[in-house]
């Protein structure tokens, strides 16, 4: 197993590129994880300008670090403007989404457990409640 994943401008040599839930605005790179015998995964998500990650919730947590670009993050009922080196914690069962809404691609590093539950879409009621907050309605992308 490679110990140095060299960055080649748009990908890591020895990293894996995964399709992201049919969303063409997001590229998912898996750098380290189960194949290294780890019980956590280190991934990088590139969100193209105007795009967003899934609006979802799940029991597993995310530890996120912004690497590049700018955007907004929804975590629960809060919206944060994010820029490089900001950290974001997504606690269990908390609705979340990362949105590249600042005219730039947004690149984030995200650590999760290898063994984790499947993401769930928000219920209509949850969505309605979020959308009733103008600041949230302004940034979230509902697909
Ligand atoms: Mn998630």
DSSP per-residue codes, the chain: --S---B-SSSBTT-EEE--TT-TTEEEEEEESGGGT-SEEEEEEEE-TT-B---BB-SS-EEEEEEES-EEEEETTEEEEE-TT-EEEE-TT--EEEE--SSS-EEEEEEEESS-PPPBPPPHHHHHHHHTSHHHHTT----
Distance 143 CA to ligand 1 centre (A): 15
Distance 93 CA to ligand 1 centre (A): 9
Of the chain, the percentage scoring pLDDT greater than 90 comes to: 97
Q: Is 37 left (phi over 0), alpha (psi -120 to 50) or beta?
A: left
pLDDT at residue 13 greater than cutoff 90? yes
CA dist list (Å): 137 to 12, 49, 81, 102: 35, 18, 14, 16
Predicted confidence at residue 143, as pLDDT, reads 79
CA distance 119 to 95: 10
pLDDT at residue 109 greater than cutoff 90? yes
Catalytic site residue from 27, 73, 79, 110:
110
Domain range list for the chain: 6-137
Average pLDDT over residues 105-134: 97
Is 110 an active-site residue? Answer: yes
Average pLDDT, the chain: 97
Distance 120 CA to ligand 1 centre (A): 9
Q: pLDDT tens across 33-86, in order?
A: 999 999 999 999 999 999 999 999 999 999 999 999 999 999 999 999 999 999
Predicted confidence at residue 10, as pLDDT, reads 94
The correct CATH number of 6-137 out of 3.90.550.60, 1.20.1530.20, 3.40.1280.10, 2.60.120.10 is 2.60.120.10
* 21 against 117, higher pLDDT: 117
Distance 53 CA to ligand 1 centre (A): 8
Predicted confidence at residue 91, as pLDDT, reads 98
11-42 residues labelled b (16+ CB within 10 A) or e (exposed): bbeebeeeebeebebbbbbbbbbeeeeeeebb
């Amino acid at each position: 197993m490679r110990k140095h994943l060299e960055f080649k401008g748009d990908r890591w040599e020895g990293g894996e590129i995964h399709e992201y839930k049919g969303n063409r605005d997001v590229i998912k790179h898996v750098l380290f994880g189960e194949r290294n015998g780890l019980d956590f995964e280190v991934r990088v998500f590139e969100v193209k300008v105007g795009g967003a990650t899934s609006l979802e919730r799940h029991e597993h947590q995310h530890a996120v670090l912004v690497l590049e670009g700018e955007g907004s993050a929804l975590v629960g009922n809060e919206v944060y403007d994010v820029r490089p080196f900001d950290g974001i914690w997504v606690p269990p069962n908390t609705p979340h989404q990362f949105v590249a809404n600042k005219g730039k691609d947004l690149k984030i590093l995200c650590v999760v457990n290898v063994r984790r539950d499947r993401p769930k879409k928000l219920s209509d009621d949850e969505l309605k409640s979020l959308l009733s907050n103008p600041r949230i309605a302004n940034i979230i992308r509902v697909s």
